Amino acid sequence: MTTTIRSKGLTKTYGELNVVDRLDLEIEAGEVYGLLGPNGAGKTTTILMLLGLVEPTKGTIKVLGLDPRRYPLEVKRRVGYLPDAVGFYDTMTGRQNLRFTARLNGLEDFEEHIDSLLGLVGLGDAADQAAGEYSRGMKQRLGVADALVKSPSVLILDEPTTAIDPEGVIEMLALIQRLAKEEGVTVLLASHLLHQVQTVCDRVAIFVKGKVVAQGTPHELAAVDKGTKVKVEFRIDGDPAKARQQLESLPNVGEVEAGKIPGSWVAELEAGSLPTTVGGLVAGGADVIGVHRLDEDLETIYRRYFEIQEEVSA
């Protein structure tokens, strides 16, 4: 895989406040990478440094092999950017707004490309409608098309679904996935919306108070936790009530419930205690039917890291 965005020790300080604190990132070509954190966590400042719009205090950055501090114009030519507050000329149509952007970028023979982009973002039927008549979701999709006018290799989206209705959110997330999987665009998505990041991102960095406290796939982030849970389904011969009581009496077993197979029980326990607990039950005559990992959702993982950071700062 080719690394499209790399930062090492990236830091931005205003006075005594570290807005971004020693950020290490590696984002591969064609992936959707999420910067997940609350408002004020430093996501937008990170994006502005990647684009060469804000000077880092220290650290290194490479975007498509270029240092944005030394080659800001070249980076901007190759990176599309949708800010959290996108704006267009309301009296101009969607198509006219894209033409304006194409001319600003020195492009020629762009009409066919603009038609293709309007179709890609689902605005083909509204292309010649005034942008001032667009809904917020339509403007966001026009913003994606605007960022794609110059055919960038990297697309950076800052809170792209804010204030969009549920249907618009679904369309936006589907578009992001299509851009990465079908068009090969690398997407960096900054958001505070947990479920949406989990839905579309291949990997996630949890951003709290300017620091990345964890990064990886949602599955990998869950695996970091020593308290990861598993569910084990057993069949124990004899009185069902006694079998359940036997499971519930074990020190590492949590909730116990009836299994789908008649006469079976499903016990929740910590992954670390799996060999000892299961080994003891099997030695006592129990049959193991299956073991299933309980992956936490991203919200649970995020809240845990956020709470840990809060405790450290207190």
Per-residue tens of pLDDT for the chain, all 314 residues: 689 999 999 999 999 899 999 999 999 999 999 999 888 889 999 999 999 999 999 999 999 999 999 999 999 999 999 998 888 999 999 999 999 999 999 999 999 999 999 998 999 999 999 999 999 889 999 999 999 999 999 999 999 987 778 888 888 889 899 899 988 999 999 998 877 888 899 999 988 888 888 888 866 775 555 456 677 777 777 777 777 787 777 777 777 888 777 777 787 776 667 677 777 777 777 777 776 665 555 666 666 666 545 444 44
pLDDT, position 298: 61
Q: Cα(62)–Cα(50) distance, rounded to whole angstroms? A: 8
What pLDDT was estimated at residue 258? 81
Contacts of 122 (CB under 8 A, 6+ apart): 141, 171, 175
Residue 79: predicted pLDDT: 96
The residue extents of the domains of the chain are 3-223, 227-294
Quote the pLDDT of residue 199. 84
Which CATH code fits 227-294?
3.30.70.100
Sheet with 17-28, strands from edge to edge, namely 17-28, 3-14, 58-63
Beta bridge partners of 148: none
The reported pLDDT for the residue numbered 304 is 65
Please identify, in words, the CATH class of the domain defined by 3-223: alpha beta
Please tell me the distance from the alpha carbon of residue 49 to that of residue 47, in angstroms, as a whole number: 5
> What is the per-residue pLDDT for 297?
58
How much is the pLDDT for 73?
Answer: 93
Pick the closest to residue 66 from 76, 81, 54, 56 (CA basis): 76
The yes-or-no answer to whether 3-223 and 227-294 have a common fold is no
Q: What is the pLDDT of residue 312?
A: 42
Beta carbons within 8 Å of 207's beta carbon, 6+ residues apart: 35, 36, 37, 41, 42, 43, 46, 213
As given in the structure block, the two tokens for residue 152 are: 């960038």
Give, in degrees to the nearest 5, the angle at Cα 89 between 87 and 93. Answer: 115
| pTM of the predicted protein model | 0.74
